[in-house]
Amino acid sequence: MARIPYPDESSLDEATRKLMGTLGRPMNLFRMLGHSYSALRSVVSGGSQILRHFKLDPALREIAILRVAGVSGADYERLQHVPIALACGVRREQVDALESNDTQAACFDARERAIIAAADELIVSPRLSDQALAGLQTFLPEAELIELIVTISYYMMIARILESTGVDMEEGGAPAPEAIDPKMTQAG
CB burial of residue 74 (10 Å; 0-12, 13-18, 19+): buried
- Does residue 146 form part of some domain? yes
Query: Per the domain annotation, does 8 fall within a domain?
Result: no
Cα(170)–Cα(155) distance, rounded to whole angstroms? 19
Residue-number span of the structural domain to which 107 is assigned: 13-185
Mean pLDDT of the chain: 94
Residue 80 within a domain = yes
First vs last C-alpha separation in the chain:
36
Q: For the segment 24-59, what is each residue's pLDDT rounded down to a tens digit?
A: 888 999 999 999 999 999 999 999 999 999 999 999
Does residue 188 carry a pLDDT above 80?
no
pTM for the structure as a whole: 0.94
Give me the number of domains the chain comprises.
1
- Give the integer Cα–Cα distance in Å for 43 and 34: 11
pLDDT given for residue 172 in this prediction: 80
Q: What is the pLDDT of residues 152-178, one digit of tens each?
A: 999 999 999 999 999 999 888 877 777
**Which of 27-41, 66-80, 138-152, 173-187 has the weakest average pLDDT?**
173-187
Within-domain flag for 53: yes
The string of pLDDT tens digits covering residues 75-133 is 999 999 999 999 999 999 999 999 999 999 999 999 999 999 999 999 999 999 999 99
User: Do 164 and 3 meet the contact criterion of CB atoms below 8 Å apart?
Assistant: yes
The answer as to whether 1 is a domain residue is no
Residue 109 is assigned to a structural domain of this protein: yes
Please report whether residue 3 resides in a domain: no
Distance CA 115, CA 104 (A): 12
CATH of the domain at 79: 1.20.1290.10
Please tell me the predicted confidence (pLDDT) of residue 9.
87
What pLDDT score was predicted for residue 181?
77
CB 150 within 8 A of CB 128: no
How far is CA 67 from each of CA 52, 84, 97, rounded to the nearest angstrom? 20, 14, 10
In a domain, 158, yes or no: yes
DSSP-derived 3-state class of residue 165 = helix
